[in-house]
Amino acid sequence: MSQHTPPERERRLTVTGLRAMKGATRRIVAITAYDVAFARLVDAAGVDVVLVGDSLGMTVLGHGSTLPVTVDDMVRHTAAVSRGVERALLVADMPFMSYQADPADALRNAGRLMAEGGAQAVKLEGGRQVAPTIERLVGAGIPVIGHVGLTPQSVHAMGGYRVQARETVTALRLLDECRALAEAGAFAVVLECIPAELSEVVTAEVAIPTIGIGAGAGCDGEVQVLHDLLGLTEQTPRHASRFAEIGGAVVEAVRRYAEQVRAGEFPAEANCTRMEPAVVEELRRAVGGREGPEE
Ligand code: KIV
């Protein structure tokens, strides 16, 4: 166990606790959640970070990208998740155009995610160009995680969801972006869809924890979209694995429910509430004494 490896946590993970996991042998485990039911489950599983990702645009709201997600969407889902998380660090994504136009907007919107949503930190996409915004947020007491590589809010600028920084020039640029984020005060950075060798370099060169998704196993931690892992999405991205087939289990359960309702088998006696026999008698007498509907 390295000097920085924390013991199994009893209390809630904090930003400083996560920051201290840099370089530890125990890797950071992060996962998304978007509602209270899954928040409770992932928290009970002992993850370190629960991210209310703007991926909820696709996984929960049915959009084709993260771009239509609003601050109100994020506040509502973050608040729901916060009611189910007791131990993990709760991080909320800042959605498209909630921080790009103006640092003052960013401050207001991040403030809502913390005050109304109950987030302990926010995550935003971009490199050097968002550094002044990060400084502003951090200066106001709002902890920030950066996100570089494949940044889904820039899907159109990137020409699709593709692996980034495969060449020396772009790889060095990405390393520079990560340094800028760390200097601006970000306490961790998500590396999405970049070559594994580059993640290793960034992890070695940058002082803050790196959390990979589609970035190989050389980061300080890993983040995944819950729905990809549970088999709740139609397609599984290459960087994810299906650890369960919950989608199939849901279809099967609802099919059996429908079958039993149609067969008159559900609800069963055990699912019903019965009146006291005296009350039933009284009710029958009262109904029997009344005129029935006219034929
Ligand atoms: O929105 C999200 O779920 C994310 C993760 C993929 C890192 O940003």
Q: pLDDT tens for residues 27-83?
A: 999 999 999 999 999 999 999 999 999 999 999 999 999 999 999 999 999 999 999
Residue with CA closest to ligand 1 atom 3 = 53
The whole-angstrom separation of Cα 61 and Cα 57 is 5
- In this predicted structure, the answer to whether residue 153 has a pLDDT above a threshold of 90 is yes
The whole-angstrom separation of Cα 189 and Cα 211 is 6
Write out pLDDT tens, residues 235-249: 899 999 999 999 999
228 lines ligand 1 (CB under 6 A): no
Residue matched to tokens 């996984």: 59
Mean pLDDT score, 102-112:
97
pLDDT at residue 2 in the model = 44
The whole-angstrom separation of Cα 239 and Cα 172 is 23
Mean pLDDT score, 261-267:
98
The whole-angstrom separation of Cα 199 and Cα 197 is 5
The whole-angstrom separation of Cα 40 and Cα 81 is 8
Q: Which atom of ligand 1 is nearest to 211's Cα?
A: 7
Residue with CA closest to ligand 1 atom 5 = 53
- In this predicted structure, the answer to whether residue 106 has a pLDDT above a threshold of 90 is yes
Catalytic residue list contains 192: yes
190 lines ligand 1 (CB under 6 A): yes
CA of 268 to the centre of ligand 1 (A): 43
pLDDT at residue 74 in the model = 98
223 lines ligand 1 (CB under 6 A): yes
CA of 3 to the centre of ligand 1 (A): 30
213 lines ligand 1 (CB under 6 A): yes
222 lines ligand 1 (CB under 6 A): no
pLDDT at residue 234 in the model = 86
> What b/e readout covers 2-32, taking b as 16+ CB neighbours within 10 angstroms?
eeeeeeeeeeebebeebebbbebebbbbbbb
Q: Which of 31, 38, 47, 51 to mutate to test the pocket of ligand 1 (most atoms within 8 A of CB)?
A: 51
pLDDT at residue 11 in the model = 86
Mean pLDDT score, 158-187:
97
Query: What pTM did the predictor assign?
Result: 0.93
Q: Which of 38, 50, 54 to mutate to test the pocket of ligand 1 (most atoms within 8 A of CB)?
A: 54
Share of the chain above pLDDT 90, in %: 93
Mean pLDDT score, 242-263:
97
56 lines ligand 1 (CB under 6 A): no
Residue matched to tokens 């007498």: 285
Residue with CA closest to ligand 1 atom 1 = 53
Of these residues, 10, 125, 177, 192, which one is catalytic? 192
pLDDT at residue 9 in the model = 62
Given a contact cutoff of 8 angstroms between Cβ atoms, the answer to whether 212 and 199 are in contact is yes
Q: How confident is the model at residue 10 (pLDDT cuts 50, 70, 90)?
A: low
Q: Which atom of ligand 1 is nearest to 192's Cα?
A: 7
